[in-house]
Amino acid sequence: MNRTANIRRTTTETDIDITLNLDGSGTAKLEYPIGFMKHMLNTFAKHGLFDITARASGDLEVDQHHLIEDTGIVLGQCFARALDSKLGVKRCGNCLFPMDETLARAAVDVSGRAFLVFNAGLSGVPLVSGAFSFQTDTIEDFWRAFTASAGVTLHLDIVRGRSDHHKIEALFKAAARALRDAVEVDGRARNAIPSTKGILDALDRPAVMV
């Protein structure tokens, strides 16, 4: 079973090319101009055991929103294409991930229904490293775009925490491990669609933020 996808999306604001292998080893090859987001994508690949190759550029002279949101769109589209009919997948996954003082929780259902619950308790204060800063409010935009394009239900919650860096990183790790479980092929039902409906198709509606 070849569960890979490549999608390039070019707009007047961004140019993003992502290749995804669901059954990889966690290798990330990233040409990405936002350092913190590059770190998160690398973390996502490592903990999900997804191989991800990405090249991205965008109108960072405006702000970081366009590029990060569009990255979520393209990565979500790759998941949807690589999963195809979702034949044989376990469908659901969850993870509690501790990172020092932070505890993150992720639960996912690759149901075809796009729905996001995002409770991260972020301060909204940018993360700063040298001359660079990261707009933490774009993280919710990323996950909203990802769920809408992938057609998944995703709940992301910070149970407790102090550091915005830790909160965001723990959420990426938890989400990756939950998705890793959900898309894994079920040895007992590898030739079945995991639904009483016999189909897990995407619904044409936007993700919801709560």
User: What is the distance between the alpha carbons of residues 170 and 167, in angstroms, rounded to a whole number?
Assistant: 5
∠ CA 193-147-115, nearest 5°, is: 85
Q: Is 97 helix (H, G, I), strand (E, B) or coil?
A: strand
Task: List phi, psi (to 5°) of 79.
Answer: -60, -45
| CA proximity to 179, closest of 103, 80, 101 | 80
Please state which architecture CATH assigns to domain 4-183. 2-Layer Sandwich (3.30)
User: What is the distance between the alpha carbons of residues 178 and 181, in angstroms, rounded to a whole number?
Assistant: 5
Contact 194, 89 (CB under 8 A): yes
Task: List phi, psi (to 5°) of 26.
Answer: 95, 25
User: Is pLDDT larger for residue 204 or for residue 154?
Assistant: 154
* Confidence tier at 204 by pLDDT (50, 70, 90): very low
Element (H, E) at 109: strand 102-109
User: What is the distance between the alpha carbons of residues 142 and 40, in angstroms, rounded to a whole number?
Assistant: 11
What is the reported pLDDT for 206?
A: 41
* Confidence tier at 198 by pLDDT (50, 70, 90): confident
% residues pLDDT > 90 (the chain): 84
What is the reported pLDDT for 45?
A: 98
What is the reported pLDDT for 202?
A: 58
pLDDT single digits (tens) 1-38: 789 999 999 999 999 999 999 999 999 999 999 999 99
User: What is the distance between the alpha carbons of residues 103 and 164, in angstroms, rounded to a whole number?
Assistant: 12
| pTM of the predicted structure, to 2 decimals | 0.93
Write down the domain spans for the chain: 4-183
